[in-house]
């Protein structure tokens, strides 16, 4: 059975636990626009590996604490 990989993120939670870091502050630390952070946070855009590392560096955590893989069935049985 083919499995679809779904990438989720904990950016909202991590921002909250980092003195309620704003999306703008995170955007400046990662070197992207606030719109890009909004898109990533809401799961509408999957960042490049480089940007994913920059975001995890901004929170000073491992990349897998920011982005998680969630294998899901694609519905074909």
Tell me which of 4, 6, 7, 31 binds other proteins, using CB under 8 A: 31
| Angstrom distance (rounded) from CA 55 to CA 63 | 8
Segment contacting other proteins by CB under 8 A, of 4-12, 46-54, 59-67, 68-76: 46-54
User: Counting contacts by CB under 8 A, is residue 14 touching other proteins?
Assistant: no
For other proteins, the closer CB: 17 or 32? 32
Tell me which of 21, 39, 61, 63 binds other proteins, using CB under 8 A: 39
Tell me the three state secondary structure of residue 68. Answer: strand
Residue 63: CB atoms within 10 Å:
15
Helix 34-41 / helix 49-59 crossing angle, nearest 10 deg: 90
| Angstrom distance (rounded) from CA 76 to CA 55 | 34
Give residues in contact with other proteins (CB under 8 A): 27-28, 31-36, 39, 45, 47-48, 51
């Amino acid at each position: 059975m083919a499995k679809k990989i779904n990438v989720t993120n904990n950016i909202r939670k991590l921002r909250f636990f980092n003195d309620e870091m704003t999306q703008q502050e995170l955007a400046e630390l990662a070197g992207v626009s606030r719109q890009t952070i909004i898109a990533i946070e809401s799961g509408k855009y999957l960042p490049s590996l480089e940007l994913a590392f920059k975001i995890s560096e901004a929170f000073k955590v491992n990349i897998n604490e920011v982005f998680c893989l969630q294998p899901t069935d694609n519905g074909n049985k």
